[in-house]
């Protein structure tokens, strides 16, 4: 080889190396964003601070990820949560260290309780400052360990891409949930070669479970022998995308279907076999049906205490088939006679095959007749009024104006239960609420995430005058980003659900639930640049809703409702399902 050729090859080699360094040796912040792009992330909700400035500097340059600047970190995590619920994809939020990170905690716990895939990224002080009570230092991995599937503290920039890949895998597989990545500031500026691992090596994490054929056979036999079966659908049906299989099971067997709060939307409310929600504020006929059932088919549910009431009497005449992706849920609250660990969609597919092969032909005529009688005798009802707005009437009108096709988000309280009772959902991922943690302040920022996921959809956040004030600063985010979210405040001047309990169980001693001194919500809307309307007469409810639903602007509708109205039926805490008040 001539010296000239050798020299040319050496020059090429140096150029290639330099090119490789330029293209693949990235800062931690660059690696983070490139890894997020690899995971298909399109939207991040976040708030900058001292420890995550390098990440924000890279966000400033990127064209592939939209960042929504919320006005509080709690707003960011709930917005990411809402985005995840609406799309089925993991939501992503970003906060700085210390108080920025701790402000995410409620939202992370909320996502954990409701099994929502979420990746929360927090800034952290530099590695050398950890453990020294440094400015804006908080042990966020320690704080969030009980409320995440896993919390990472990145100590080497070379691990960052792998950690991001693992985080998304953990968040979305098995039982979905939140994962946290804590990123020290010095890691974000150190450089490393960007290598995105094509495969994962997590030997201790095996979320997939094989559907046990013998258990499927036992479940099928139990169904074929049942005289009074009830199907009970939870949020796991929606997470698994198993609504089609649920409808097929209901159609094949003729069994009535009830759902948990998190399961609303898994089965059409208008279907003749639908019983609505079961539990504390469920329909009377759903509670009676579960009470008298001889077979309860629980799908993706965790038998929450708001569902079961007094555990020792819950479905006490029934065998229980329990299908859930999380084996730890089987038998945790309610004894499962036929436990099946696995994905609900896969398990139902196998169960349907067996039932069809066995010639499923249940005679449920007398059972269905009994349920129809309960429906006629104990319908959801409230006293209509031509003078004062009833909160249930507002929900009914939202349902009619939007033809049941809106995306409904709720805060937490009486309005939440009325929305679950009176809004008719027709498909999954259209009704979003904080089921497990019961987080006041969830609805408004979650609605931002839902609207970002479905820009053309009509989105309503149904709120109480107490809940809406928990994160009302996010009106600024909504208006700035031109999100046409409609907020329907059922304003009864009380923390209504607590007032209801005080009325029923504490001798009407309304200790600190009177919300006197709340803001003028119309002026609040105008202050943020939204449209505000106050509605005080029943005849003005529908025109206001029609105006809001048709507008491209954000609306705050302040419905002044009957402050004495309560949510019924109600199973008192610790009582049996058949011990309802106001049925």
Query: Active-site positions?
Result: 73, 135-136, 185, 497
Cα 561 from chain centroid (whole Å): 27
d(CA 567, CA 382): 9
* Contacts of residue 532, Cβ cutoff 8 Å, sequence gap at least 6: 521, 522, 523, 524, 525, 526, 555, 556, 558
344-358 and 243-253 are packed helices; what angle lies between their axes, rounded to 10 degrees?
Answer: 20
Token pair 């409702």 is found at 561
Cα 77 from chain centroid (whole Å): 11
The neighbouring-strand residues paired with 534 are: 558
Closest alpha carbon to 442 in 96, 116, 90, 66: 116
Closest alpha carbon to 189 in 151, 226, 157: 157
Give the DSSP per-residue string, 166-219: HHHHHHHSSS--EEEEEEEHHHHHSEEE----SS---TT--------HHHHHHH
* Contacts of residue 3, Cβ cutoff 8 Å, sequence gap at least 6: none
φ/ψ of 497, rounded to 5, equals -70, -40
State the pairing for strand pair 555-560/531-535: parallel
The neighbouring-strand residues paired with 533 are: 557
Contact in structure between 86 and 453 (CB atoms under 8 Å): yes
Helix, strand, coil proportions of the chain in percent (round to 5)? 45, 15, 40
10 Å CB burial of residue 139 (0-12, 13-18, 19+) is: middle
Cα–Cα distances in angstroms (integers) from residue 541 to residues 391, 394, 544, in the given order: 10, 7, 5
Task: Name the maximum alpha-carbon separation found in the chain.
Answer: 101
| Distance between start and end Cα atoms, the chain | 95
Closest alpha carbon to 441 in 418, 419, 474: 474
Classify 565 as helix, strand or coil. Answer: coil
Q: How is residue 442 written in tokens?
A: 């969830």
Which spans in 268-424 are helix H? 284-292, 305-308, 344-358, 365-377, 391-401, 414-422
Give the DSSP per-residue string, 60-111: HH-SS-EEEE-SSHHHHHHHHHHHHHHHSSPEEEEE-STHHHHTTHHHHHHH
């Amino acid at each position: 080889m001539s010296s000239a050729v050798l020299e040319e090859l050496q020059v090429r080699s140096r150029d290639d190396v330099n090119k490789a360094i330029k293209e693949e040796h990235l800062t931690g912040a660059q690696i983070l964003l490139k890894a997020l792009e690899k995971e298909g992330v399109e939207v991040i909700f976040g708030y900058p601070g001292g420890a995550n400035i390098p990440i924000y500097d890279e966000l400033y340059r990127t064209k592939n990820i939209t960042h929504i600047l919320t006005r509080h970190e709690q707003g960011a995590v709930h917005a990411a949560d809402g985005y995840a619920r609406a799309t089925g994809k993991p939501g992503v939020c970003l906060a700085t260290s210390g108080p920025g990170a701790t402000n995410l905690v409620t939202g992370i716990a909320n996502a954990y309780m409701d099994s929502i895939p979420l990746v929360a990224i927090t800034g952290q002080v530099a590695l050398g400052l950890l453990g020294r009570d440094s400015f804006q230092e908080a042990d966020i991995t320690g704080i969030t360990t009980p409320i995440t599937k896993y919390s990472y503290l990145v100590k080497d920039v070379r691990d960052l891409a792998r950690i991001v890949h693992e985080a998304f895998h953990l968040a979305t597989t098995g039982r979905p949930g939140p994962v946290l990545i804590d990123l020290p500031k010095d890691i974000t500026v150190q450089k490393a070669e960007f290598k995105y691992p094509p495969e994962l090596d997590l030997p201790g994490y095996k979320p997939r479970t094989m559907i046990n054929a013998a258990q499927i056979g036992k479940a099928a036999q139990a169904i074929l022998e049942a005289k009074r079966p009830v199907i009970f659908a939870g949020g796991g049906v929606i997470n698994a995308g198993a609504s089609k299989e649920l409808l097929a099971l209901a159609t094949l067997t003729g069994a009535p279907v009830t759902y948990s709060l998190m399961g609303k939307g898994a089965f059409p409310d208008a279907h003749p076999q639908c019983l609505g929600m079961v539990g504390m504020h469920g329909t009377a006929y759903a509670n009676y049906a579960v009470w008298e059932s001889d077979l309860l088919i629980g799908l993706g549910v965790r038998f929450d205490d708001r569902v079961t009431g007094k555990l020792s009497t819950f479905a006490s005449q029934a065998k229980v088939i329990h299908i859930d992706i999380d084996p730890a849920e089987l038998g945790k609250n309610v004894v499962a006679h036929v436990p099946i660990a696995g994905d609900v969609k896969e398990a139902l597919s196998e169960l349907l095959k067996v039932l069809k092969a066995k010639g499923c032909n249940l005679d449920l005529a007398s059972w269905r007749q009994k349920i129809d009688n309960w429906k006629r005798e104990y319908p959801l009802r409230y006293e209509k009024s031509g003078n004062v707005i009833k909160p249930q009437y507002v929900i009914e009108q939202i349902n009619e104006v939007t033809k049941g096709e809106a995306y409904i988000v709720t805060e937490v309280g009486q309005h939440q239960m009325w929305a679950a009772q009176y809004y008719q959902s027709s498909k999954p991922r259209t009704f979003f609420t904080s089921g497990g943690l019961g987080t006041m302040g969830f609805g408004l920022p979650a609605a931002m995430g839902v609207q970002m996921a479905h820009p053309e959809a009509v989105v309503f956040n149904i709120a109480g005058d107490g809940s809406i004030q928990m994160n009302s600063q996010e009106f600024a985010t909504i208006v700035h980003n031109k999100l046409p979210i409609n907020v329907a405040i059922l304003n009864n001047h009380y923390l209504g659900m607590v007032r209801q309990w005080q009325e029923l169980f504490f001798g009407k001693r309304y200790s600190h639930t009177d919300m006197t001194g709340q803001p003028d919500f119309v002026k609040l809307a105008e202050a943020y640049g939204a449209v505000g309307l106050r509605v005080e007469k029943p005849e003005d409810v529908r025109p206001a809703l029609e105006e809001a639903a048709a507008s491209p602007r954000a609306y705050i509708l302040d419905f002044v409702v009957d402050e004495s109205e309560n949510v019924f039926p109600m199973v008192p805490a610790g009582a049996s399902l058949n011990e309802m008040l106001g049925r």
